[in-house]
Amino acid sequence: MLIAIEDYAGLYIHSPDFTAERITNAGDLLHRWDLLTQAMQADGVKLHINPDTGTYVSGQGHGGFRNQDCKIGAVHSQHKEGNALDWYDPNNDMDIWCIHNEALMNKLGLWFEVSYKTPGWCHGQRVPPGSEARFFVP
């Protein structure tokens, strides 16, 4: 896998909020992302390491799992349940590729925030938003 569970959990690897259920959610999410990024790379999309995290996870430590006390995101947000990931995407190449490959998003069971709301990262999650739109406005 391109992102290890430890990298996904980041600052919160030892948080009591990173429960067995959320670890299972995260493992499934990372597996789906791995399949997605394999397809992207086969199409020539370049993946970038985030200089702030040293991984593919975006942000400065909050792009993967977040504990319930994290001020970023709502209580029980998809990040806080181990269901969402912000992948470092400085040129928005991943977002653009996903839009053009919606059939694969359907097959993998991944939903994405619209790219104009995620400059420099690609937010994907393994559960549908309330709107059930494949590409949604948060």
- Give 101-133 pLDDT, tens digit per residue: 999 999 999 999 999 999 999 999 999 999 999
pLDDT at 75: 83
pLDDT at 74: 87
Q: Which CATH class is domain 5-136?
A: alpha beta
pLDDT at 76: 84
Q: What mean pLDDT value characterizes the chain?
A: 96
Contact (Cβ atoms closer than 8 angstroms) between residue 92 and residue 119: yes
**Cα 124 from Cα 8, distance rounded (Å):** 13
| Regions in the chain scoring below 70 on pLDDT | none
